[in-house]
Structure 1
Amino acid sequence: MKNEKLSEEKVFKDPVHRYIHVRDKLIWDLIGTKEFQRLRRIRQLGTTYLTFHGAEHSRFNHSLGVYEIVRRIVDDVFKGRPEWDDEERLLCLCAALLHDLGHGPFSHSFEKVFHLDHEDFTQAIIVGKTEVNQVLREVDEEFPKKVAEVIAKTYEKKQVVSLISSQIDADRMDYLQRDAYYTGVSYGHFDMERILRVMRPREDQVVIKSSGMHAVEDYIMSRYQMYWQVYFHPVTRSAEVILTKILHRAKQLHQEYYSFKHDPIHFYSLFEDELTLEDYLKLDESVILYYFQSWLEEDDPILRDLCQRFMNRQLFKYVEFNPNVQMMTLMELTTLFKKAGIDPEYYLVVDSSSDLPYDFYRPGEEEERLPIHLLMSNGDLRELSRQSEIVDAISGKRRTDHKLYFPLDLLEDFSTKRTVKKKILELLNIPKKG
């Protein structure tokens, strides 16, 4: 493979890794493509900046961070080991750098509304008619396909895939530390230096020397805490609910031939399920926020109100909700909202979050997860949860949380019958003012 070096090493100053080192011309050229530069305009944590004001970092930051971790592994940890093929080095670096290339604005919320998958777009950018593809083809004609296969987890050498996507991969190791830094919390910190020192290549995966087990325990617990204290924060989810409902409302209005004052031309192909790669790459968060700001002047009261809530952070309130025992309550609330003149489709929303912090191998099951293996002193491999009591306690245990979101200000302000308002507040278990 072509592996031309830069005449002088380039570095990015980074708050997490101190410096990100670029020595390969191929990597430097990929960073300079317009598809990669677009990631500067996609936040890493979507609406989390409305909860943790420092969370303004981008997918660009994170992608460089993942690249740097993989670079350290293949250049410093694995280099020279008989189980590692150095011919895979450049492939690993490219896959690490480009793994999030297909993320859209506000990422997962955007995907849910329009039934998209950022990994599909990542692969499409890599193999399509793009600047990224053109740079990758300088290695050889088949190289873009190999990079896409690593990201799709279909590449024949699973060891390479596990560096980018596994239960202890460079992606997770960067985003936990980076997100903790920018949100200002302490949960995501763990001893990455120790983990890198005890990583070892094996034919089908990366394993951890048993002496590093406690560092891995810390990493897994950090991930657990970050999900429930940051990623699934109820205020962030409230903003996601409103964002989702704005997009749903705009799509519905388009389908009803509503005449927008500010025509959503960037959304046409999305609304009509005719999205092209070219259209997708024109979308970033600055475009979305432009429309949200413009729609503050729309005649449709629902779209106008939802956009005002999002732009000015007037979010929905929430209560705990148990779908197993409270579905009748939800149906009753839906009826009462309609009587109050509040559309429950947009203003009464159940949102659920679920996470599996660590899992062992379950052959044949959907979303099979390769477990973390410890390399014992006698050369045997032992699955982590069989050696660690801490990990065993949370292994295979999925935690799910449900909340019911609603606009308390509308409930307190509307002028319909007092009995309707009183009943809604009672069902939501909200004390009456005064």
Structure 2
Amino acid sequence: MATAGACSSSESGDAAGGKVTITVTDMPPTTQEASRKEFTDRVAAFERANPDIDIKPSEAVWDPKTFTARLAGGQLETAFIVPLTEPQGLIKRGQIADITDDVKALPNADQFDRRALAPSTDADGRIYGLPTSEFALSLIYNRELFDKAGLDPDNPPKTWDEVREAAKKISEETGLPGYAHPATNNTGGWTLTAMTYTYGGRAEKEEGGKQVAAFNDAPMRDALQWLKDVRWKDNSIGTQHLRDAAEIYKSFSAGRIGMTMATPSVFDEHITKYNGDPKIFGVTALPSATRSATLLGGKMAVINPKASDAERKAAVKWIDYYYLRYKYDPKEAEARAKTKAVDGVPVGTPYVPFYQPAVDRAVQEATNKHATVPLRNFEPYLQGVQEQEFVTEPSVAAQDLYAALDSAVAAVLTRESADPQAELDKAEKKVVPALERAQR
């Protein structure tokens, strides 16, 4: 094994003695000594199990500004990691390899949750990537404040109307914000986009072969109107409105907020970063308005289109070994859970399953033998997420889009006179140049 920087697929190729050499990304930097050692140890174990494959790890990370030049210049790794927003564009441009047949040969390939593969699957059902990490936005809530407000913490809201009712009760009974919504550092736009999905809309849509803002469509306007009503009609969203998601999570962990949008993994920060009480943390699937949907984020592993057949097959083997095995192998899942528990890392926090229940259930049971979290508190999420539609983040200039939408969210939360559609029109004018630049 070598730990040097990346070399191109054509440079590595089929090595002497029948070996194939591939380059892979995702190796932690030297500043993360423990994580780097764990990664290189797994590379060594993989090479022992596959003596015909040599791996050259790289610290390279996804950079859309240099990707095309690196691909054209033969400097791209064999396997690399991209955000979920990227595969569809890469597929259309022929910039990643079709791995459908290689995926079919993997263990439990017929048990994949198709929602997890959707971001890297084309209209013909061909597969171009495999998930490495995925998250689905949810609603976290304070079980203790639910009790104080006379609400059932085991039966959290399933719709935004129910969230509004619960928020009002919490505010009236406790004097604390029943619901909190971020409005800065792009997190206001991020969460508004997720809400828009539950209203059956999108933040971007295709027109003339390009992605344009969908800020004039009813779903986003309705979501923003909901926020305005909770703020000004119900007065149940508190008085501090120019905060980002991290600031809200900190207040939530201090017991000062009833509900907010987050990923279930925020529980880890609740415990390790903010010293929150694990008993108060509840989480459920993102509520619906007109559709049961949520925002799906995360990363996928994809393959250099210039890779040889041998390199491509070896790369898929590595992806399966490093990123997928513990998602379908109960023994591997339990071993990782045991290690995490010993290291004080929360075990049992819910996740987006890559596989159908027939496979995932056994993995969950093996993991939960070493659970260090209150599993009962996560049941509403586990049940609700099974039937949700997963919608990825906007595929073009997402962060610019979120930044523009921050201003619309801040406006309706701080000014009673703010008109949702007028604020969205202002936001659209801000984001149009960024969308145009990204698609030249």
Q: Same fold, TM exceeding 0.5?
A: no
TM range (shorter): under 0.3
The structure where helix makes up a greater share of residues is: 1
Q: TM-score, normalised by structure 2?
A: 0.24
Please identify the structure whose Cα radius of gyration is greater. 1
Give the structure, 1 or 2, with the largest relative contact order (CA under 8 Å, sep 6 or more). Answer: 2
